[in-house]
Each structure stands twice: as C-alpha cells, then as structure tokens.
Chains A and B, each alone.
Chain A
Amino acid sequence: ILNVEQSPQSLHVQEGDSTNFTCSFPSSNFYALHWYRWETAKSPEALFVMTLNGDEKKKGRISATLNTKEGYSYLYIKGSQPEDSATYLCAPLNSGAGSYQLTFGKGTKLSVIP
C-alpha cells in the first residue's frame, strides 16, 4: 500500500482567505493524481484528474498543480467561501503488473468561517 500524505490534517480559515494544502506520494509507477471534494452527508466528487508533470488545472476558485518527479501536488482555494467547507482527498493512481491502483490519503478537512 502506497504512503500518501496530506497536510494539514485540518484547518480553519476566515471567509475570503486563500488557502492551500499538500498531497505527497511516491513518484515511482505514477500514472495520475486525483483530487476529490467530500462534503458532509454527500458523496465525494472529483475535482481534478492530473497526469502530466507540471500540469495545472483550474475549476472556478480552485486550482491544483502537479509535480510527478518529486511526488507532490498542491490544491489552492482562492477567496474561500463557506460552501468550500469539506474534506479534500487526494489519490495517486499507480500502474503495475497490468493493473491500476488508486490509493487515498486521509484528507484535509477545511472549515471556512463566515
């Protein structure tokens, strides 16, 4: 099982603040990196699937970058809103022996204070 680290474990920010969190993963056999947002009492939803080193993706106020050589990804939220409160999961997808395996980190729980 891969060691996927997300930091911080949790954070509280004021509405309007920008924030970022980190996902670290082994870079060997890397195929893709998934980010999911999981709001309380809802299903996790995919934010981004990133594959290329140096990739940067954006969806509204949320963006993510990827460094496959050193094995990390950053997720940025600009001008946080209360509706951004959720747990953010990253999951590297690794290939090996003809199959793909997605390994989830423990997540970063974001609380945005109005």
Chain B
Amino acid sequence: DGGITQSPKYLFRKEGQNVTLSCEQNLNHDAMYWYRQDPGQGLRLIYYSQIVNDFQKGDIAEGYSVSREKKESFPLTVTSAQKNPTAFYLCASNPGTAGELFFGEGSRLTVL
C-alpha cells in the first residue's frame, strides 16, 4: 500500500543529544514537509522540500536540520540547539505544493 512511514513512533533523548526522525514515502510525491505539534497549538511547519536536493525553512526551523537526497526520504534531525524539542512530529507529502497533504502517523519525541 502507498503511504508515508515515520519512525520511530516514540523516542526518548537525553538533553544535548541529536536525534534523527525518519520519513519515507512511496507515493512518488515531489514535496515533503515536517510539522511539529504542541498541546493547544496548530501544526507548525519546520522545513519543507519541493524537490530532491532542495529544501526551505518553515516557520520554526531553528534547532532542526533536514536533507533530501532521495525523492522518497526526508529525515529530520533535532539538534541539541533546539531548546524545547519535546513534541509530536508529523511528516507529510503531496504531489505539488498546492495539493492536499498525506500524513504519516507521527513520531513523539521526549527529552529527558
């Protein structure tokens, strides 16, 4: 079945450690996105990529990094510079920047 796979589903990290969240899609979509959700807030855009080897910062990119070496994959690294990394992270894709988004099931990161 086509879709978006995020891993891991749950992740615990010690302060000062970098962690990488995986996002893979087999929908042949050009565009991919990373969102963050915090309690009481809407989904906020961290980074997005419209094409392989290109990506742009979203509204809250500080403390995060991404790569887009393959069309299918858009991993997100939460660096130690991110001051409040505990959150729920959603990856999404769409065939073009104006179309509906297809989401993964999310990754919950907890910093201990």
Residues of chain A having any CB pair with chain B under 8 Å: 1, 4, 31-32, 34, 36, 41-46, 49, 89, 91, 93, 99-107
CB pair B42–A34 under 8 Å, yes or no, is no
Which B residues touch A31, using CB under 8 A? 98
- A contact face: mostly helix, strand, loop, or mixed: strand
The majority secondary structure among interface residues of chain B is loop
Q: In the complex, which residues of chain B have a beta carbon less than 8 angstroms from the beta carbon of A41?
A: 105
Give complex CA distance A33, B45 in Å. Answer: 17
From 97 to 112 in chain B, residues with beta carbon under 8 angstroms from any chain A beta carbon are 97-106
Contacts of A32 in B (CB 8 A): 98
Contacts of A45 in B (CB 8 A): 103
**Chain B nearest CB, measured from A66 CB (Å):** 15
Count of chain A to chain B residue pairs whose CB atoms are closer than 8 Å in the complex:
46
Q: Is the CB of B100 within 8 A of A46?
A: yes
* Interfacial residues, chain B to chain A (CB-CB below 8 A): 4, 35, 40-45, 56, 59, 90, 97-106
Chain A residues within an 8 Å CB radius of B98: 31-32, 93, 100
Closest residue of B by beta carbon distance from A36: B101
Select A99's contact among B4, B43, B97, B104, beta carbons within 8 Å.
Answer: B97
Whether the pair B42, A104 counts as a contact (CB closer than 8 A) is: yes
Q: Which residue of B lies closest to A9 (CB)?
A: B40
12 inter-chain pairs at a CB distance below 8 angstroms, sorted by A residue, are A1-B59, A4-B42, A34-B100, A36-B101, A43-B90, A43-B102, A44-B90, A44-B103, A45-B103, A99-B56, A99-B97, A104-B44
Known: A49-B99, A100-B97. A42 touches B105 (CB 8 A): yes
The residue in chain A whose Cβ has the minimal distance to the Cβ of B101 is: A46
Known: A4-B42, A43-B105, A45-B103. 6 other contacts (CB 8 A): A44-B103, A89-B42, A99-B97, A100-B98, A103-B42, A104-B43
Cα–Cα distance between A8 and B77 once the two chains are bound (Å): 35
The verdict on A106 contacting B103 (CB below 8 Å), with A31-B98, A93-B98 known, is no
